[in-house]
Amino acid sequence: MVIGNGAREHALVWKISQSPKVDKIFTAPGNAGTAQISENLTISPTDLEGLAKAAKTNRINLVIVGPEVPLSLGIADYFKRLGIPIFGPSKRAAQLETSKTFAKELMEKYKLPCAKGRTFSSYPEARKYVQSQQFPIVIKADGLAGGKGSIMAESWQEATRALSDIMEAKIFGSAGDSVIIEEYLKGLEVSLIAFTDGKTIVPMMPSCDYKRARDKDTGPNTGGMGGYSPPSFFPSQLVEKSVSTILMPTIKALSNQGITYKGILYAGLIIANGKPKILEFNARFGDPETQITLPLLRTDLIDILLAIIQDDLDHIDVEWYNSASVGVVMTSGGYPQKYKSGLPIEGLDKVDKDILVFHAGTKSGNSGKTYTNGGRVLTVAGTGDNLTEARAKVYRNISRISFQDHHYRRDIALREIK
């Protein structure tokens, strides 16, 4: 059973369905895409009791958690107490993502490479602090904010507006009860996501995602508008260096705190002067990174996940195809602000056979029609011998899909094309 309803979960279900070890897949709650290759269950990802009951009733052998909110509620701990095998870190381990204050204190205590920063729970104190800072600076809501809680402020006015929005207007709810104010690090960003059983770390193919809504990195922050893998500026030597200087020390630091981290460890890094530094941690598969990297994975994903649960990851040889991948997100008009739902999607049957269309905000309607049901609607992904080929295939096909006021960025992976 895969928990979640986004394109990430559709990609997970798609990859899992290729395993000869899997007889049946359930998705809770899923979307129109997962309904084609699994059985959707109308259960919210936050209904832990309902999910546990479904797992028992359907004799589920493995539960995989997609989004961060169930992890923040302690779903892994709850299911383990009930004897239900689950892939995902404990509530304490997930604090790496659910509390930026926890993560920052851990980084500073164990001298992990990161931006300098301070935590504030008082708006007047935070406002006073930014007066003495050089701009730009970065302001982050402490808790979960759907990937939108990090704001770069280029002036005193922008900084105070961001602080007011987060701490007074509560645009992110209780996630903004406190904030982290950090120095701005200039460089190239990369997502390094890894499998870990708490002892062994196996990195996935690195990838880059695009957070801003519009081309040339303009517009508001979003949950992700697309991405590509692998980035040329992050070769295997830098991957190995990041594992040895960031990922492994993080696992050991948590262990020193009495926390065994098992699951997906996602480090958002910035490469400045050839050195990786931590921007943030996440405790689950990335979105849109999962839609981009899973098509490159040669090894059976189920073998990897079971090895992690059984503390046996060091005996798995994780292999990747020598290919490149690009994914572009189609969104509803107006996203990430107000947008319409319930619009018919045309052209899903017009894409080439080797193109992957992962559904996010979609629902099935009458006579087999698919309708929009969210802000991020689809991720259109493709692979090729290189990024130029993969990118051309994706953009050639995405133009065949349409719905009213649809939007997508036209510059995904363009910086890699010489």
Sign of CA dihedral 382, 386, 389, 392: positive
Ranges under pLDDT 70 in the chain? 418
The domain spanning residue 279 has which CATH number?
3.30.470.20
The domain spanning residue 395 has which CATH number?
3.90.600.10
Residue ranges making up the domain that contains 201 = 188-315
For the chain, how many structural domains are there in total? 4
Residue 196, beta-bridge partner list: 201, 263
- pLDDT at position 149 is 81
Which pLDDT tens digit goes with each residue over 89-125?
999 999 999 998 899 999 999 999 998 888 888 989 9
- Comparing C-alpha atoms, which of 316, 297, 289 is closest to residue 305? 316
135: its two tokens: 């701009």
The Cα–Cα gap between 35 and 37 comes to 6
Q: Do 189 and 279 contact (CB within 8 A), yes or no?
A: yes
Establish if 108 belongs to a structural domain. Answer: no
The domain spanning residue 60 has which CATH number?
3.40.50.20
Residue 306 sits at the vertex; the CA angle it makes with 303 and 312, to the nearest 5 degrees, is: 95
Alpha helix locations (H) across 222-373?
Answer: 236-242, 248-256, 289-293, 301-309
Residues 170 and 208 in one domain: no
- pLDDT at position 131 is 85
Establish if 96 belongs to a structural domain. Answer: no
